[in-house]
Amino acid sequence: MKKMNNETKVSKLKSIRFRILAISVFIIVVTIALILLANNLFLEKFYIKQKEKSVVDIYNKIKMVYINHDKNSEDDENNEIFNVNDVYFVNTLSEEEQNKIDNICENGGVTLLAEDEKSCIEYYFGPAEILKKQLDYNIYNVSLDGEYVLNYFKDNNRNDDHVIELYGCINEKHYMIIRVATQNIKDSVDVFNNFFMYAGLVAILLSIILIFIATTSFTKPILKLAKLSEKMSNLDFSTKYESRGKDDEVDVLGNSMNNLSNKLEMTISELKTANEQLQEDIKIKTEVDEMRKEFISNVSHELKTPIALISGYAEGLIDGVNEDPESQKVYCEIIADEASKMNKMVKKLLTLNKIEFGKIETYPDKFDIISVICGILGNTQIMLEENNINVVFAENNSYMIYADEFQTEEVITNFISNAINHCMANSNGRKIIKIDVMDIGDKVKVNVFNTGNPIPDEELEKIWIKFYKVDKARTREYGGSGIGLSIVKAITNSMGTECGAVNEKDGVSFFATFNKPKENDNDSNN
């Protein structure tokens, strides 16, 4: 599709304005041509018919004058007859009747001659001699089938003009001839056609100007609609059609495009949101699949070593590799130890799974976190002494939190166990674990620091992933499975708190926050 520029140009020959102009001019030209053709073919006949009708009307009017005269007059035989140059006249009409006929003839533009049955002229209007000769000729040579005979012919005595002649008889007492001259209609038609052609050219020019002005009023909004549709095709729905207030088809179309623009904008927005959600779901599914694969791989890896050890030492016992009771006892202790490690790892995995899927039951309560930490330190006292680790912990204050006591103990235990496993001597040759509890507003923060090597910065966020181990070579030395910190992360997420790790000067600090009790948090023991 050809892309329109910002001005949305349209070919002049293909524009609606040009088409309307061309159609209008064509209609005007055809109309003028048809009128000229009609003039040439039918105007003369029409003109003659109209003249003939006019002559017949005049005849009927004069006929009524004579009929009324005959009714009201007495015997006309005693009227005096005049002879003028061998032409006989008889005066039968009154002055009033003569004036009436004069007016009829004058208004109709006709000449008239009437005579009685004795060939005496009763009345004439126009050239009496010519009319008398023509009337006498008609009386002796033209038979009447009705009241009158109407003829149209060329008059050689009047410069090739044509005349319409009516010859009639009233009550067999009055003979009448009426004549009206007509111009050469063909010359009139030529003059009319020439005038009409010039008038038609002027009409065409005026029509072009008026149509050009008139079409502008609706071609401009159509071009605006074209620009609007172009922006809509580019997913730009900011521009709207402004109604002209005429409520015509263009306004209806513009309002429809506004509705279409709104619906498209809404639909595309919904599609974008749905697409983003779909992409996020696909990403999550991909991550879950990868995590599942990694989880299976890690579990397989973690179980492979203890299973191999258990299998090897068990086969050694069966084969009697070492019959010394002390050696056999050592073999059995190793098998029991590896089985215990496997059992702990499976329990941690089950616990982590329940926490992540929200299937573990929690029992939030108000309790002092200091007492929990003291209890954990008491349980790990032997491990601390075996590893020559000094613990720095102030037990002076009391810090109340509102959480599940078992899960809180799990978090602190994992931090302290992790600190014991990774604690190394500092520059002074001392192994130190320092535990701090701080009030940070609406939460309590527990920080566990141990001397040792720092965690690489790029690894700080990865240590919370299941089975992730920074020092993979030394992990089995202390029995770590890489699940403890994942459990810490899952528990803090479920409580709506946070955890993290920070490298410090001589070691690493792990921290977790816990919610303080609120007024509506009731003690479960109450």
Number of domains present in the structure of the chain: 3
Work out the end-to-end distance of the chain between its first and last CA atoms, rounded to an integer number of angstroms.
78
Same domain, 321 and 367: no
333 part of a folded domain: yes
Same domain, 373 and 439: yes
| Listed residue (290, 80, 73) closest to 173, CA to CA | 73
The first and second tokens of residue 435, run together, are: 């535990």
Encode 386-418 in three state secondary structure. Answer: HCCEEEEECCCCCCEEEEEHHHHHHHHHHHHHH
Q: How far is CA 476 from CA 60, 305, 431, 471, 494, in A?
A: 141, 10, 21, 10, 30
Same domain, 376 and 508: yes
13 part of a folded domain: no
Same domain, 323 and 396: no
147 part of a folded domain: yes
Same domain, 341 and 371: no
The first and second tokens of residue 305, run together, are: 């070593």
203 part of a folded domain: no
524 part of a folded domain: no
The first and second tokens of residue 465, run together, are: 């992933």
pLDDT by residue for the chain (526 residues), tens only, comes to 444 444 455 566 666 767 777 888 888 888 888 888 887 788 778 888 888 899 999 999 999 998 888 887 765 555 667 666 667 788 788 889 899 999 999 998 899 999 988 888 889 898 888 888 888 888 888 888 888 888 887 766 655 568 889 999 987 788 999 998 876 666 777 777 788 888 888 888 888 888 778 777 767 777 777 777 777 777 777 777 777 666 777 777 777 878 887 888 788 888 888 898 899 889 888 876 776 676 666 666 566 666 776 777 677 777 776 667 777 777 787 778 777 767 766 776 666 666 666 666 777 889 999 999 999 888 888 888 888 999 999 877 889 999 988 889 889 988 998 899 889 998 888 999 999 999 998 999 999 999 999 988 888 888 887 766 655 544 545 455 667 888 888 888 888 899 999 999 889 999 999 999 987 765 544 4
- Collapsed DSSP state (helix, strand, coil) of residue 252: helix
Same domain, 382 and 501: yes
DSSP element (H, E) containing 26: helix 16-38
| Listed residue (462, 438, 455) closest to 504, CA to CA | 455
Determine the length of the chain: 526
> At 260, which CATH number?
1.10.287.130
8 part of a folded domain: no
Same domain, 115 and 177: yes
DSSP state of 216: H
d(CA 20, CA 207): 11
What are the residues facing 507 on neighbouring strands?
451
Out of 351, 378, 411, pick the residue that ends a domain: 351
Q: Does the reported pTM lie above 0.95?
A: no
Same domain, 438 and 333: no
> If phi over 0 gives left and psi between -120 and 50 gives alpha, with beta otherwise, what is residue 388?
left
Q: Are 450 and 442 in contact (CB under 8 A)?
A: no
Q: Are 152 and 141 in contact (CB under 8 A)?
A: no
Same domain, 54 and 158: yes
| Listed residue (467, 473, 485) closest to 298, CA to CA | 467
The first and second tokens of residue 45, run together, are: 């006949």
Out of 351, 385, 410, pick the residue that ends a domain: 351
Q: How far is CA 244 from CA 121, 237, 255, 321, 390, in A?
A: 80, 20, 11, 104, 87
Same domain, 375 and 510: yes
Phi and psi at residue 188, to the nearest 5°: -65, -40
DSSP element (H, E) containing 459: none
Q: Which domain holds residue 326?
A: 235-351
Q: Are 449 and 433 in contact (CB under 8 A)?
A: yes
Q: How far is CA 44 from CA 66, 109, 447, in A?
A: 33, 19, 121
The first and second tokens of residue 422, run together, are: 């990774």
213 part of a folded domain: no
Same domain, 340 and 368: no
| Listed residue (383, 468, 388) closest to 426, CA to CA | 388
> At 502, which CATH number?
3.30.565.10
- Collapsed DSSP state (helix, strand, coil) of residue 461: coil
Residue-level pLDDT at 474: 42
b/e per residue 73-109 (b: at least 16 CB within 10 A): eeeeeeeeeeeeeeeebbebbeeebbebbeebbeebe
Same domain, 288 and 318: yes
| Listed residue (149, 154, 156, 150) closest to 182, CA to CA | 154
Out of 351, 383, 411, pick the residue that ends a domain: 351
The first and second tokens of residue 303, run together, are: 């179980």
The first and second tokens of residue 462, run together, are: 């990865």
d(CA 298, CA 352): 15
> At 93, which CATH number?
3.30.450
DSSP state of 279: H
41 part of a folded domain: yes
